[in-house]
Structure 1
Amino acid sequence: MPTQFPSVTLLVTHYNRSQSLERLLQAFQKQEIIFGDIVVSDDGSKSEQVVRLKELAANYNFRLVSAPQNNGLGNNINKGQDAVKTAYTLYVQEDFDPFAGYAVHLSNALTIMEERPDVDIARFYAYFKYPYLKPYKFGFSEMVFKIWYPGYKKFHVYSDHPHLRRSTFFEKFGRYAEGLKGDRTEFLMNLSFIKKKGKAVFYEDYQKLFDQVNSSDEPSTMTRSDLRQSNNPLIVLARALYRNVKHTWEVLF
């Protein structure tokens, strides 16, 4: 039977990856997950992509929020979130696909947020497990941030990876910075989340809810420097120390 989430809008940010977008929408459709609304925010994709987006909008019944040119991640999320009318937003970038059985976990996350007005977001995916977690329920744990805890990974409380959030998110944390690279845009929101004492829950078995798919036909549009991706032990250590000092300064000052 279909699982309906009338209070949740699926917000998908998109840029030149209509095949990935269709795969994502198909995955939700196959699982019979029905949202109160679907918004796709496009960041000035190529004309042939826009034509395909309009076809997909008719097939999957989503509202397309377009842009005449590429304005970056911050602008794309801002205009997409502005279009949301429901109480909750499930934010997913177009290159993520939900694994089978996702509806149960979305329902559990929604239950937590309805029971706990202090919880701002429920996170479903990450590249690494958050180091400081306090078990809660349904497999979710509260993320605990203390500035004196060791390690730079403590700073990654908020993430643009798939998460459920209150649609009043901007009222508490402000809008995303525009005109910057995607990583910096994300981390500035993360800083706002920490400084304004945001509270998040994190699904501990995080690799079993979403799959990030970057095919050869539609590779990732995010680029990073060689130093940021290097696995050289000395570079990894230096990067970790630098991040810890830098992020501590940014949070405190």
Structure 2
Amino acid sequence: MNSFPTVSILVTHYNRSRSLEALLKSFEEIECNFAQIVVSDDGSQYEHLNYLKTLQSRYSFHLVTTPSNKGLGNNINKGQDVIDTPYTLYVQEDFVPTSFFPKKLHTAISFMDEDPELDIVRFYSYLEYPYMTPFKKGFSYMNFNVYGIKYSKLFYYSDHPHLRRTSFFDKFGRYQEGLKVEQTEYKMCVSFIQNNGKGLFYNDYQRLFIQKNSTEEPSTVRRNAWRRGNNYFVSKVRNVYRQIKYNYDISVSPIIGKRQLK
């Protein structure tokens, strides 16, 4: 049994109850035992909400609901509010952990226990973080390089599976609500950098979790096609625009989060 008494898992959910079941079943199969499981639902349709209650009787999770869809920011905020363990493992419902994950989670907890300035440990990504310094045991420090030409430097923080301190809001502020998914994540990325966040990145970044989008329960996120198209000219213009915007938002725009209160 892999016991994590100082960690609660926070799962955000919206209309993908079978995917949530696969996630919870996978944690059970690799014998991960957390202090608390919190499922935060964003106003799912009746059939999914009803199935969540069936799953709740099996997996004994704390279900936090809302009468209507209020977006990712609200969904994370209300779920995080009920957690009282030192650490939160944040995972969206369309991921499943692999058998390699428990050992690396133990390692990540030990790193955060040893270094109180460490805010986050990232376990999954689509791409490698562009600026890093090797640390140990398969992890590297992420370094935000203000002069770096790779715009993906912004994603020092990411909504993909990660371990963070439950006091995360005290330093970086709450997730901004009433925005689209991409803007919600973007605002937290900016806050993380502005407030001098410190994080580790697992080098083999697609080994510990697998993202699964089935035809029965596809992704509920609709992303802007201009931001992801592969046209050469569009991609060049987009990259220049991102460099200017990201550096402006980080360096010039009002501080988001804790430093805003000073």
User: Given the alignment of the two structures, is residue 195 of structure 1 paired with residue 205 of structure 2, yes or no?
Assistant: no
Q: How many residues align?
A: 252
Q: Secondary structure at the match of 1:134?
A: strand
Q: Name the TM-score, length of structure 1 as normaliser.
A: 0.98
- Cα distance in 1 between the residues matched to 2:117 and 2:193: 14
> Counterpart in 2 of 1:75?
74
Q: Indicate the larger mover: 70-79 or 143-152.
A: 143-152
- Cα distance in 2 between the residues matched to 1:83 and 1:239: 39
- Cα distance in 1 between the residues matched to 2:151 and 2:170: 27
Q: Which runs of 4+ in 1 moved over 3 A?
A: none
Conserved? CA contact 2:91–2:160, under 8 Å: yes
Shift in Å, 1:146 = 2.2
Q: Secondary structure at the match of 1:92?
A: strand
RMSD value, Cα: 0.7
> Counterpart in 2 of 1:96?
95
> Counterpart in 2 of 1:226?
225
In the TM superposition, 1:181-192 aligns within 5 A as 181-192=180-191
Conserved? CA contact 2:10–2:79, under 8 Å: yes
In the TM superposition, 1:1-253 aligns within 5 A as 2-253=1-252
Q: Secondary structure at the match of 1:207?
A: coil
**Residue identity in the other structure for 1:60:** Y
Shift in Å, 1:103 = 0.2
Shift in Å, 1:183 = 0.5
- Cα distance in 1 between the residues matched to 2:233 and 2:115: 43
- Cα distance in 1 between the residues matched to 2:134 and 2:171: 25
> Counterpart in 1 of 2:260?
none
**Residue identity in the other structure for 1:208:** R
1:124-163 Cα distance to aligned partner (Å, 9 max, x none): 0111100111111111100001211222111110000000
- Cα distance in 2 between the residues matched to 1:171 and 1:225: 31
Conserved? CA contact 2:88–2:164, under 8 Å: yes
Shift in Å, 1:231 = 1.0
Shift in Å, 1:119 = 0.6
- Cα distance in 1 between the residues matched to 2:58 and 2:235: 46
Q: Name the TM-score, length of structure 2 as normaliser.
A: 0.95
